[in-house]
């Protein structure tokens, strides 16, 4: 037998630690793409990643224009007032053309698709974030240990963003 | 591309089992394809299938988001109707090409 038996991924466990829009979208698209292919997915929002599930912040996420060589604008220009907002607006309009939803709608989509959304307890304590500050679709608040416990099946992958 | 016999009809399919020509599709084929996926087609399923076919005829790239906004099903219901990979499974049964979207 030449052909090896295929062992497809069963579960993706994503850890989102950043709040720049390019990282948030990378995480959401990976989680949603998994569900679209019948793969389970879960997201653990920690550190700055918590901004993506805070009701009063999730609509105001920005792309990083400073310290990001792929923006192809000089660092000094990237730091000018309004630059981040401008770059973010441009990126959002391009994404809408590809039918990529805004952050709030994307979270609803993920929840409807069965992606589990978890907040990191330690990061919440550190930033003094209360559960009421977070989206209603949240599945709960976990410790790192709790999150690892959920990765107990075979062919489960963990990804840090 | 290969010829495959589904429900007694000879249809053109790609190597992943997606039909190549929507004109060859009929309800008997859909029933047979749904059976392969262990899905019993209800009225709601048929509505989704005809929506996908309409979009295909209009050459609109289909996404789960669009299905959720179609007014036929919510995203949650779509996942319930076609468990596992809803867009791919539904497209396969509808005789439309394999979706290329990541959304």
Extract the tokens encoding B89. 């499974």
Give the start-to-end residue ranges of the domains of chain A: 12-160
Residue B43 pLDDT class (50, 70, 90 cuts)? very high
Contacts of B87 in chain A (CB under 8 A): 36
Q: Considering chain A, what is the average pLDDT of its residues?
A: 92
Assess whether B102 carries a catalytic annotation.
yes
Asked whether the predicted pLDDT for residue A1 surpasses 80, the reply is no
**Domain-located, residue B33:** yes
Distances A17 to A13, A50, A65, A138, B8 between C-alpha atoms, Å: 13, 7, 18, 16, 54
Q: What is the pLDDT of residue B1?
A: 67
Evaluate the CA torsion angle B49, B51, B57, B60 in order and state its sign. negative
Q: Would you say the ipTM is above 0.85?
A: yes
Q: What is the pLDDT of residue A84?
A: 85
Among the listed residues B1, B43, B100, B102, the single catalytic one is B102
Q: How many domains does chain B contain in total? A: 1
> CB distance A36–B64 less than 8 Å?
yes
Distance CA B78, CA A30 (A): 19
Question: Cα distance from B22 to chain A (closest Cα, Å)?
Answer: 23
Question: What's the CATH fold of domain A12-160?
Answer: Hypothetical Protein Ychn; Chain: A, (3.40.1260)
Asked whether the predicted pLDDT for residue A108 surpasses 60, the reply is yes
**Domain-located, residue B56:** yes
Residue B17 host element (H or E): none
Q: What is the mean pLDDT of residues B40-49?
A: 95
Asked whether the predicted pLDDT for residue A87 surpasses 70, the reply is yes
Containing structural domain, residue B84: 2-94
> CB distance B79–A29 less than 8 Å?
no
**Domain-located, residue B103:** no
Contacts of B103 in chain A (CB under 8 A): 29, 32, 98-101
Distance CA B90, CA B86 (A): 6
H helices of A37-143, in order, are 75-78, 83-97, 103-113, 121-127
Asked whether the predicted pLDDT for residue A120 surpasses 60, the reply is yes
**Domain-located, residue B42:** yes
A79 in Cβ contact with A154 (< 8 Å):
no
Asked whether the predicted pLDDT for residue A94 surpasses 90, the reply is no
């Amino acid at each position: 037998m030449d052909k090896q038996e295929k062992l497809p991924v069963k579960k993706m466990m994503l850890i989102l630690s950043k709040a720049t829009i390019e990282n948030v979208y990378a995480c959401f698209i990976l989680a949603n793409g998994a569900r679209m292919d019948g793969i389970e997915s879960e997201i653990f929002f920690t550190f700055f990643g918590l901004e993506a599930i805070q009701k009063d912040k999730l609509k105001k996420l920005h792309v990083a224009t400073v310290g990001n060589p792929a923006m192809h604008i000089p660092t000094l220009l990237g730091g000018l007032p309004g630059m981040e907002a401008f770059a973010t607006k441009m990126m959002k309009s391009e994404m809408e053309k590809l039918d990529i939803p805004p952050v709030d709608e994307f979270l609803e989509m993920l929840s409807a698709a069965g992606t589990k959304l978890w907040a990191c307890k330690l990061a919440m304590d550190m930033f003094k974030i209360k559960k009421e500050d977070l989206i209603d679709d949240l599945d709960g608040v976990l410790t790192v240990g709790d999150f690892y416990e959920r990765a107990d099946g075979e062919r489960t992958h963990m990804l840090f963003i | 591309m290969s010829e495959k016999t589904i429900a007694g009809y000879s249809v053109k399919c790609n190597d992943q089992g997606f039909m190549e020509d929507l004109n060859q599709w009929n309800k008997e084929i859909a029933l047979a394809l749904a059976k392969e996926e262990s899905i019993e087609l209800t009225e709601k399923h048929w509505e989704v299938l005809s929506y996908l076919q309409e979009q295909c005829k209009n050459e609109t790239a289909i996404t789960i988001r669009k299905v959720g906004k179609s007014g036929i099903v919510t995203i949650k219901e779509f996942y319930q109707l076609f468990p596992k990979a809803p867009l791919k499974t539904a497209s396969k049964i509808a005789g439309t090409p394999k979706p290329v979207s990541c959304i």
